Structure 1
Amino acid sequence: MGMDVGLLGSFLVPLSSAIAAFGLLPLARRVGFVDHPDARKQHGVPVPLIGGVVVFVGLVMAGLTSGLWHGQAWNWCLAGAVALIGIGTLDDIFDLSARWRLVFQGMTVALACAASGVYIETLGALFGGDVVMLVGLPGLLFTVVCALACINAYNMIDGIDGLAGGVTLITLVGVAILSLAAGHTGTGLFAALACLALLTYLLFNLEIPLLRGWKMFLGDGGSTLLGFLVLWLLVAGSQRDGSFPPIVAVWLVGVPILDMLAVFARRLLSGRSPLSADRIHIHHGLLARGLNARQALVVVVAMHGAMVAFGVAGTLAGWSELTLTLGTFVAAGLYFSLSLLLGGRSAA
């Protein structure tokens, strides 16, 4: 039965995303829902911002074929995704203020997590001693903070073609492996099928030869969706399902979070606001060193893949949570050092 559902989903998910892409791209051009080139954006022509919707359609089909939407908790995930992609799309159109965008994101995540019961209740035995518990309101508030960090990390990493989609794809592969290994076939199947929705988007975003002229971007709606999707799967997997220890979530989210923290730290150290505009993300540093966009994409996705592989291998091998925790500090130090080495421009 599981095999049949998986085969059906592996056909229907990319098909539904592709139909959405071919149907919405001409409409987006016609109504002007496009990203225009400017001083900070390197594409030469306006590009439709419908990637998030294309991925979302595939995710809906993934939930239907895996049966997850029948559960109340996942219904709230779907409702939260609809609301967040909606506010992200409005931001694409009207350029909303960061403050109100954060407020709406926080309220949406708080409601979805509180209503579903999917929120962070434990941090595990981070330092090898007692389990750190966050029951009730503190856990919910911490989940909201993590969600805002995750959502905006994916928005910030979305700087070159294929990057946000590529790192999300690797994360979902890790979640699928760990969930299936732990016997949680519903979550594992959904994560695996979600990969197919992302792959479909990436084929358009990277303009493979057969899709020349059909390029699309995620837009803020799409990057917001990916950040929320990753957050939900990591919380569900580490808290409700117990497929992996909470610290492994840090390894699975890897590069987007480390890059955001490194950029914020460098801005603060230089006396600027952490939200100021610049070109000091990891991909900007690689581009400044002479790599082209595709080479930079491969390097960053490989770095993220190494982090996800470490977290997956550590979980399957039964490494202690203390080992995995100490490893995150080493990874963060190496990443921050690389960020400083690569440099970048503080001006937008």
Structure 2
Amino acid sequence: MIGGAVVFVGLMMAGLATGLWHGDGWGWFLAGAIILTTVGILDDIHDISARWRFLIQGVTVAAACALSGVYINDLGMLLGEEVLVLGLGFGLFFTVVCALACINAYSMVDGIDGLAGGVTLVTLSGVAILSVAAGQTNTGLFAALAGLALVVYLLFNLEIPLLRGYKMFLGDGGSNLLGFLVLWMVVAGSQRDGSFAPVVAVWLVGIPILDMLAVFVRRSLSGHSPFQADRTHLHHLLMSQGLGPRATLAIIVLMHGAMVLIGVAGTLLGWTEMALTVGTFVAAGLYATFNYLLVAKRLPFLSSIQS
């Protein structure tokens, strides 16, 4: 369970290489990352209750965002031509809610080898492209170097031929770190740097959030707690169709990659924020339909895909 530590060391080196730790609030990101990774590691060892885990995560994120100034201040022009401003109080609260969702979404998606790391790598690639295109080269370089750290982890997690027998896992410490990293990058990119519109953040986070929302809705409708563990996540549903872990990994990463690609292409091609917003509802509807068909086992052709 040292994958989180490996990625954290990579982030440290990325911050040093780009000089980000010395300004723009990145030092507060580092402090928050240390606390959240430590809490996750302790949860792996001692199984911390969900209440205490959420409390520590919420306080940590609130402090890091308030002290750094990296929080969701506005939602862009979602409703037309006027910017929807949240302000400090509600904006900080909304950021904490989004952070808790993101951190726990990445924890939930970490159910098969390579999945949490793979989708995070795709997201960081999108952030790097948009940051560099907007002239935020330091942020783009940091995202790229953080992605490189993930590649190192993935080589061990997926046990490429030369590394068989040296497998590592993220653990809760690693998944907490990845969720916080993604949240920070999309908030910094959309709010502080102005590299992309706030709605693009939804496209960049993509499948992990859609999966978490679908699971929460399904559990609530069935009368269970949204936080009660079960086997209804997307990777579970795909594997129930007869797919192997590697085929499941490939399908989910491709789905997530398609969402990130739309967000990146829409930004670079100058699509309106309204178009991108409507697109998120279309994507959510398509995902919900696909999810329903998986639950109903109405996609028999998937079983023919070789793992």
Answer whether TM exceeds 0.5 for this pair: yes
The percentage of aligned residue pairs carrying the same residue is 71
2:3 aligned to which of 51, 54, 69: 51
Q: In the alignment, which residue of structure 2 is the partner of 1:67?
A: 19
1:318 aligns with 2:270: yes
Unaligned runs of at least 5 residues, structure 2? 298-307
Superposed displacement of residue 343, structure 1? 1.3
1:56 is matched by which residue type in structure 2? Answer: F
Superposed displacement of residue 344, structure 1? 8.1
Q: In the alignment, which residue of structure 2 is the partner of 1:297?
A: 249
Q: In the alignment, which residue of structure 1 is the partner of 2:152?
A: 200
Q: In the alignment, which residue of structure 2 is the partner of 1:139?
A: 91
1:213 aligned to which of 165, 169, 178: 165
| Distance in 2 between residues matched to 1:180 and 1:216, nearest whole Å | 32
Q: In the alignment, which residue of structure 2 is the partner of 1:100?
A: 52
Render the CA deviation track for 1:46-93: whole Å, top value 9, x for unaligned: xxx110000000010000001111115000000000000010100000
Q: In the alignment, which residue of structure 2 is the partner of 1:330?
A: 282
Q: In the alignment, which residue of structure 2 is the partner of 1:129?
A: 81
Q: In the alignment, which residue of structure 2 is the partner of 1:18?
A: none
1:148 aligns with 2:100: yes
| Distance in 1 between residues matched to 2:121 and 2:287, nearest whole Å | 21
Superposed displacement of residue 337, structure 1? 1.2
Unaligned runs of at least 5 residues, structure 1? 1-48
2:204 is matched by which residue type in structure 1? Answer: L
What SS does structure 1 have at the residue aligned with 2:206? helix
Q: In the alignment, which residue of structure 2 is the partner of 1:252?
A: 204
Superposed displacement of residue 129, structure 1? 3.4
- Structure 1 runs of 4+ aligned residues shifted over 4 Å read none
Q: In the alignment, which residue of structure 2 is the partner of 1:112?
A: 64
Superposed displacement of residue 127, structure 1? 2.4
| Distance in 1 between residues matched to 2:174 and 2:296, nearest whole Å | 26
Q: In the alignment, which residue of structure 2 is the partner of 1:283?
A: 235
Q: In the alignment, which residue of structure 2 is the partner of 1:76?
A: 28
1:338 is matched by which residue type in structure 2? Answer: F
2:191 is matched by which residue type in structure 1? Answer: Q
What SS does structure 1 have at the residue aligned with 2:242? coil
The answer to whether the Cα contact below 8 Å between 1:161 and 1:293 also exists between their aligned partners in 2 is yes
The answer to whether the Cα contact below 8 Å between 1:288 and 1:344 also exists between their aligned partners in 2 is no
| Distance in 2 between residues matched to 1:64 and 1:237, nearest whole Å | 19
Q: In 2 relative to 1, CA 304–111 (structure 1 residues): closer, same or farther, beyond 3 Å?
A: same
2:99 is matched by which residue type in structure 1? Answer: A
Root-mean-square deviation (Å): 1.0
Render the CA deviation track for 1:100-138: whole Å, top value 9, x for unaligned: 000000000000000011101000011223211011111
| Distance in 1 between residues matched to 2:79 and 2:216, nearest whole Å | 26
| Distance in 1 between residues matched to 2:150 and 2:230, nearest whole Å | 28
The answer to whether the Cα contact below 8 Å between 1:285 and 1:344 also exists between their aligned partners in 2 is no
1:232 aligns with 2:220: no
Total equivalences in the alignment: 297
Superposed displacement of residue 201, structure 1? 0.1
Calculate the TM-score normalised by the size of structure 1: 0.84
The answer to whether the Cα contact below 8 Å between 1:124 and 1:131 also exists between their aligned partners in 2 is yes
Q: In the alignment, which residue of structure 2 is the partner of 1:13?
A: none
The answer to whether the Cα contact below 8 Å between 1:248 and 1:324 also exists between their aligned partners in 2 is yes
